[in-house]
Amino acid sequence: MSAPAHATVAVIIPAFNEEETVAVVVNVARQLTSDVIVASDGSSDNTAQVARGAGAQVVELSENSGKGPALGAALQATDADFIVMLDADLTGLTLEHLEALLEPVLAGTLDMSIGVFDGGGFVTDWGNKLTPNLSGQRVARRSWLLGVPHLSEERWPEPAITAHLKATGARWDYVVLPNVAQVVKEKKRGFWKGARARTKMYAQLLTYRARRKKP
Ligand SMILES: Nc1nc2c(ncn2[C@@H]2O[C@H](COP(=O)(O)OP(=O)(O)O)[C@@H](O)[C@H]2O)c(=O)[nH]1
Ligand SMILES: [Mg+2]
């Protein structure tokens, strides 16, 4: 890999009640770097203990306020040059996936890589080329992420990242992650609770632009 000399990499993993899957994700991340940070805010299960047991540094916030604040706290807990963001509910992840995400950003050809699950034709789809999707699997420089307005205030931070990609003319592209999948909310939380959580998430995502529009 054509990494800049002495570049450092951290993996940050926001996790809310992910005790079933977080250790596997931490284990893969630790094959890449010892700087692995799990940010849990008010998980009521053993996410923090399990993540610590797997060798991650755990940032614990007492109140649940969302993925954005968790990412923001994790970014403050490292000074690495490059950040790999991963969800805590992934299955099928390997070191090769992380290297594939990192490579174009380390090489300087992209400002952000966005990992997408195998989805036949998705990546060449026109709409998806114009508007980055909502994947939590991304690599960017820490300094770029720190410049994303509202990142730490949004429960679901992807629209804030998309807005900043557009505003800064950043170079981004998709990297397909073969064989990676996630445990869906309906399975993690039970059908109705999961479906309610999904509806709330879409509402937050869809209202981002209206909520953040300048007066
Ligand atoms: N710390 C923290 N992490 C969260 C929160 N909500 C979601 N996450 C994490 O963000 C990632 C994506 O969330 P998820 O619920 O899987 O959303 P989906 O993949 O879009 O269905 C997972 O690792 C979650 O554990 C939260 O309130 N706090
Ligand atoms: Mg998920």
CA of 89 to the centre of ligand 2 (A): 6
Q: Is the CB of 40 under 6 A from ligand 1?
A: yes
What mean pLDDT do residues 134-153 have?
Answer: 96
Q: What is the pLDDT of residue 9?
A: 98
Within a domain: 198: no
Alpha helices (H) along the chain? 22-32, 47-53, 67-76, 95-106, 126-130, 142-146, 158-168, 185-189, 191-206, 208-212
28-85 pLDDT, tens per residue? 999 999 999 999 999 999 999 999 999 999 999 989 999 999 999 999 999 999 999 9
Give the confidence band of 201 by pLDDT, cuts at 50, 70, 90.
Answer: confident
Q: What is the CATH number of the domain that holds 58?
A: 3.90.550.10
Q: Is 136 in the pocket of ligand 1 (CB under 6 A)?
A: yes
Instruction: Give the pLDDT score at 124.
Output: 53
Domain that holds residue 122: 9-182
pLDDT digits (tens, 9 = 90+) for 70-91: 999 999 999 999 999 999 999 9
Average pLDDT, the chain: 91
Mean pLDDT along residues 155-180: 94
| Residue 188 falls inside a structural domain | no
Judge whether 171 lies within some domain.
yes
% of the chain beyond a pLDDT of 70: 91
Higher pLDDT, residue 2 or 179: 179
Q: How confident is the model at residue 122 (pLDDT cuts 50, 70, 90)?
A: low
Predicted local confidence at residue 186, as pLDDT: 82
Residue 147 domain flag: yes
Count structural domains, the chain.
Answer: 1
pTM assigned to the model: 0.91
Q: What is the 87 CA–ligand 1 centroid distance (Å)?
A: 7
Ligand 1 binding pocket mutation candidate from 20, 40, 87, 188 (most atoms within 8 A of CB): 87
Q: Is residue 189 part of a domain?
A: no
Angle 22-32/95-106 helices, nearest 10 degrees?
A: 50
Segment 101-106 shows an average pLDDT of 98
Give the Cα-Cα-Cα angle 17, 136, 78 (nearest 5 degrees): 80
Q: CB burial class (10 A; 0-12, 13-18, 19+) of residue 74?
A: buried
Please tell me the distance between residue 6's alpha carbon and the centre of ligand 1 in angstroms. Answer: 32
Token code pair at residue 57: 């540094």
Looking at the domain assignment, is residue 35 inside a domain?
A: yes
- Give mean pLDDT, residues 7-27: 97
156 within domain boundaries: yes
Which range is most confident: 135-144, 172-181, 204-213? 135-144
Per the domain annotation, does 208 fall within a domain?
no
